[in-house]
């Protein structure tokens, strides 16, 4: 479980959201609630850019809606 989940815009926006699609839920289960939180791209973005990413940057580095690589 990621220790940033309560403050994370992605997690706060998409976790338990009834409009979630399967991809959103899989990202949450594998990254936020699973071992992949250690390689979350949102953390890398924050460290490299010095700012917090918007909610639509998924933990895999892709836009959660368009599936375009963002980071
Ligand atoms: S998206 Fe990344 S930083 Fe946010 S809760 Fe999930 S694993 Fe943690």
Q: How confident is the model at residue 3 (pLDDT cuts 50, 70, 90)?
A: very high
Residues in contact with ligand 1 (CB, 6 Å cut-off): 2, 4-5, 8, 10-11, 31-32, 37, 40, 42-43, 59
For the chain, what is the domain count?
A: 1
Query: Structural domain of residue 42, as residue ranges?
Result: 1-71
Going from the C-alpha of 52 to that of each of 9, 20, 43, 55, the distances in angstroms are 9, 22, 9, 9
Nearest CA to ligand 1 atom 4: 8
Q: How far is the CA of 50 from the centre of ligand 1 (A)?
A: 16
pLDDT in tens, 6-65: 999 999 999 988 887 898 999 999 999 999 999 999 999 999 999 999 999 999 999 998
Residue 19: what pLDDT?
80
Tell me the pTM: 0.93
**Whole-angstrom distance, CA of residue 35 vs CA of residue 1:** 7
């Amino acid at each position: 479980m990621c220790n940033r989940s309560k403050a994370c815009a992605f997690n706060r926006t998409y976790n338990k959201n009834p409009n979630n699609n399967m991809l959103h839920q899989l990202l949450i289960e594998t990254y936020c609630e699973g071992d992949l939180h250690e390689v979350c791209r949102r953390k890398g973005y924050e460290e490299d850019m010095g700012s917090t990413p918007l909610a639509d940057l998924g933990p895999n580095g892709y836009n959660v809606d368009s599936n375009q690589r963002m980071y």
